[in-house]
């Protein structure tokens, strides 16, 4: 397929991988949301306080790609322009409010890449060498728990396996090795202590590098199962405390058709008031203009239209290169089809339909996706 349609070297199909292709973002609407989020994140870094937000929209709308793109943006921007460490978190399944909070919080901590953990801890310890009082912010965050401070301090070195164990233990996992090494409990169960541990790591980053720690929590609709019962208030307490830690930021990406479908626990006053009404953003489905913008930019990125293969295919069909690999008629029909219903007017469906159309064109030995190819794909022939 890559040779048939003259893909650029980085691509082998029309399918976009959220992590591998995270530097790309297509469509005016998504770039506008990206710019708004980046501006808010930059502004929060000026005061060294975490930014909170909720991004919601239908499944397949591009929220996971946006989250990965924000992480890429942070890692490829100068520190003096973007003093933040963004960490992508895939929210784990939560069976119900009865599930232990460690199922969520340990996963948050284990999502911090090992090399990032080492860098944070070692940058912090380096500052402490010349300024012994620097560690006071971390010990204060831990409420002077020396044993847990020792665990955090130890993560400047060690294997990936050790660091993952230590991070899991800080988040509430059972870790006998950590318990034996530092004479601490095998498991932390107090939600206050667990949130303090996360805040302490964020304080290390702030002291060592002057950056805030921001977690981008994808699939956060899984918090929807936290609805009632005694354990609900444990979850609420833990989340409330986490949202109120100044050096931390939480941006949640939620599959939801509208605001009412956002998890109930996030609408509790003590959490929603911290997030703020201006920090709740909808990724709406595409209208025709947005779908066309997305498709044009996607094709421009993937395909090298200057190759002789493209030039010859377009010339032979009497078409214009601007809509390649579609004929002009098929391009318009494709865009229209992907704006007529909520199930089709999303990036995932546009990309999947594009991939199927390209495969069908190859099967029929056609160099362009014409109206007949498109009709067969749409009708499922």
For 63, the domain range is 48-283
**Residue bearing the bigger pLDDT, 334 or 97:** 334
83 located within any domain: yes
Q: How many domains does the chain have?
A: 2
Other CB atoms closer than 10 Å to residue 20's CB: what's the count? 11
Q: How far apart (Å, rounded) are the C-alpha atoms in residues 1 and 325?
A: 12
% the chain with pLDDT above 90: 87
What is the pLDDT averaged over residues 304-309? 95
The three-class DSSP label of residue 264 is: helix
Considering only CA atoms, give the Rg of the chain: 24
- Residue 49 banded pLDDT, cuts 50, 70, 90: confident
Q: How far is CA 290 from CA 78, 111, 282, 350, in A?
A: 31, 33, 15, 12
Q: Last residue of a domain, which of 243, 261, 283?
A: 283
Q: How far is CA 189 from CA 48, 96, 101, 174, 192, in A?
A: 29, 17, 8, 10, 9
So what's the pLDDT on residue 78? Answer: 74
Q: What's the predicted TM-score (pTM) here? A: 0.93
So what's the pLDDT on residue 83? Answer: 86
Q: How far apart (Å, rounded) are the C-alpha atoms in residues 88 and 285?
A: 24
User: pLDDT for 102-158, tens place per residue?
Assistant: 999 999 999 999 999 999 999 999 999 999 899 999 999 999 999 999 999 999 998
Statement to judge: residues 329 and 260 lie in one domain: no
Statement to judge: residues 294 and 154 lie in one domain: no
What is the pLDDT averaged over residues 46-56? 90
- Contact of 123 with 208, CB cutoff 8 Å: yes
Which tokens sit at 190?
A: 């107090």
End-to-end CA, the chain: 21
Statement to judge: residues 201 and 276 lie in one domain: yes
252 located within any domain: yes
- Residue 79 banded pLDDT, cuts 50, 70, 90: low
Q: Last residue of a domain, which of 283, 301, 330?
A: 283
Please state, rounded to an integer, the average pLDDT across all residues of the chain: 94
Q: How far apart (Å, rounded) are the C-alpha atoms in residues 68 and 22?
A: 6
5 located within any domain: no
So what's the pLDDT on residue 20? Answer: 94
Cα–Cα nearest to 24, from 322, 285, 301: 301
Lowest mean pLDDT among 56-65, 303-312, 341-350: 341-350
- Residue 77 banded pLDDT, cuts 50, 70, 90: confident
Statement to judge: residues 213 and 326 lie in one domain: no
Distance of CA 362 to the CA centre of its chain: 34
At 254, give phi and psi (nearest 5°). -125, 130
38 located within any domain: no
- Contact of 53 with 279, CB cutoff 8 Å: yes
Residue 330 reports pLDDT greater than 70 = yes
For the chain, the residue count is: 381
CATH of the domain at 197: 3.40.50.300
At 365, give phi and psi (nearest 5°). 60, 40
User: pLDDT for 216-270, tens place per residue?
Assistant: 999 999 999 999 888 999 999 999 999 999 999 999 999 999 999 999 999 999 9
Contacts of 204 (CB under 8 A, 6+ apart): 120, 121, 123, 124, 138, 152
- Contact of 379 with 371, CB cutoff 8 Å: no
Q: How far apart (Å, rounded) are the C-alpha atoms in residues 118 and 238?
A: 26
User: pLDDT for 80-96, tens place per residue?
Assistant: 677 899 999 999 999 98
Q: Last residue of a domain, which of 254, 283, 312?
A: 283
Residue 349 reports pLDDT greater than 70 = yes
So what's the pLDDT on residue 45? Answer: 80
352 located within any domain: yes
What is the pLDDT averaged over residues 160-180? 95
- Contact of 188 with 194, CB cutoff 8 Å: yes
Lowest mean pLDDT among 24-28, 29-33, 249-253, 342-346: 342-346
Residue 380 reports pLDDT greater than 90 = no
């Amino acid at each position: 397929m890559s040779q048939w349609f003259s893909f650029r070297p980085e691509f082998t199909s029309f399918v976009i991988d959220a992590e591998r292709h995270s530097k790309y973002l297509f469509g005016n609407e998504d770039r506008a949301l990206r710019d708004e989020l980046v501006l808010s994140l930059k502004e929060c870094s000026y005061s060294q306080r975490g930014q909170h937000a909720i991004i919601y929209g239908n499944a397949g709308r591009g929220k996971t790609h946006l989250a990965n793109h924000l992480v890429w943006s942070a890692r490829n921007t100068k520190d003096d322009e973007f003093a933040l460490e963004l960490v992508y978190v895939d929210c784990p399944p939560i069976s119900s409010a009865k599930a232990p909070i460690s199922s969520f919080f340990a996963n948050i901590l284990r999502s911090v890449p090992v090399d990032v953990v080492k860098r944070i801890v070692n940058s912090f310890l380096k500052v402490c060498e010349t300024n012994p009082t620097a560690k006071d912010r971390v010990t204060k965050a831990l409420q002077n728990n020396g044993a847990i401070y020792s665990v955090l301090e130890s993560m400047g070195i060690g294997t990936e396996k050790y660091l993952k164990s230590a991070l899991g233990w800080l988040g509430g996992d059972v870790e006998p090795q950590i318990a034996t090494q530092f004479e601490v409990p095998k498991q932390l169960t107090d939600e206050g202590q667990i949130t303090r541990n996360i805040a302490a790591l964020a304080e290390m980053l702030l002291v060592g590098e002057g950056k805030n720690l921001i977690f981008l929590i994808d699939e956060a609709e899984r918090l929807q199962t936290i609805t009632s019962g005694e354990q609900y208030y444990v979850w609420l307490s833990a989340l409330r405390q986490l949202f109120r830690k100044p050096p931390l930021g939480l941006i949640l990406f939620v599959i939801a058709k509208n605001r009412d479908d956002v998890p109930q626990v996030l609408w509790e006053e003590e959490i929603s008031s911290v997030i703020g009404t201006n920090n709740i953003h909808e990724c709406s489905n595409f209208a025709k203009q947005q779908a066309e913008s997305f498709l044009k930019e996607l094709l421009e990125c993937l395909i090298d239209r200057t190759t002789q293969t493209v030039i010859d295919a377009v010339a032979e069909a009497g078409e214009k290169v601007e809509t390649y690999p579609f004929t002009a008629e098929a391009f318009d029909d494709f865009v229209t089809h992907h704006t007529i219903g909520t199930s089709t007017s999303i990036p995932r469906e546009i990309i999947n339909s594009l991939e199927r159309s390209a495969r069908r064109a190859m099967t029929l030995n056609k160099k362009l996706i014409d109206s007949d190819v498109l009709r067969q794909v749409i009708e499922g022939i």
